[in-house]
Amino acid sequence: MADTFTVRVTVRGYELDTQGHLNQSVYLQYAEHARWELLRAAGISQDALITSGIGPVVLETTIRYLRELRGGDEVEVSCEFEWGEGRTFRIRQDYRRPDGTQVADLVAVAGLLDLRERRLVAQPRERLRALARSPELLAG
C-alpha cells in the first residue's frame, strides 16, 4: 500500500486568533488544500471535473483539536479517501508536526455532485478514477 498523501503548510501570522494560535477555521482551509493537492497529484484538475460535469462536495466535517499550532509552525496535513458502497465517502485527514506529533484530525463525509442535476452521483470512486492519470492515489 502506498504512503498516505500529505502536504506541508507553514502557519502564517495572519491565520492566528487572539490567543496566538491557528484559528479554527483555517484548519478547514488546510484540509481543503490537501484534498485539492491530492486530486492534482492524481492528475485530476478542476477544469477536468467541470468538463465532466461533476464537483466534489463536503456534506459533514468533524475536527478534533489536540494541540495548538502557532505562527511559523509547520504542519503536515494528510488526505485519504475511504470509499463505501453508496453515493458518499469519507475523507480522513491528520494534522501532524514534522516530528510526528498529532495536533488535530478531521473526518469529512463527501460526495460528487452532478453539476446539472444538483444531485450526488452514483459510484463516486469510479467517476474520479476514470478522470485520474494516477488512480492509485485515490485508493483509500
Let me know the angle formed at the C-alpha of 75 by 79 and 41, rounded to the nearest 5 degrees.
35
Residues near 47 by beta carbon (within 8 Å), at least 6 away in sequence: none
Q: What is the mean pLDDT of residues 11-28?
A: 97
Rounded to whole angstroms, the Cα distance separating 124 from 39 reads 13
The reported pLDDT for the residue numbered 1 is 39
The reported pLDDT for the residue numbered 44 is 98
Residue 34 parent element (H or E): helix 24-41
Q: What does the block give as the cell for 30?
A: 488546510
3-state helix, strand, coil in the chain (%, to 5): 30, 40, 30
Domains of the chain and any CATH numbers: 5-131 (3.10.129.10)
Residues near 71 by beta carbon (within 8 Å), at least 6 away in sequence: 11, 12, 13, 15, 16, 20
The reported pLDDT for the residue numbered 140 is 64
The reported pLDDT for the residue numbered 3 is 79
The reported pLDDT for the residue numbered 131 is 96
Rounded to whole angstroms, the Cα distance separating 105 from 68 reads 12
Q: In this model, does residue 33 exceed pLDDT 80?
A: yes
- pTM value is 0.94
* Mean pLDDT across the chain: 96
Q: In this model, does residue 10 exceed pLDDT 50?
A: yes
Let me know the angle formed at the C-alpha of 135 by 129 and 34, rounded to the nearest 5 degrees.
95
Q: In this model, does residue 139 exceed pLDDT 90?
A: no
pLDDT digits (tens, 9 = 90+) for 35-84: 999 999 999 999 999 999 999 999 999 999 999 999 999 999 999 999 99
Q: In this model, does residue 121 exceed pLDDT 80?
A: yes
Identify the three-state secondary structure at position 44. Answer: coil
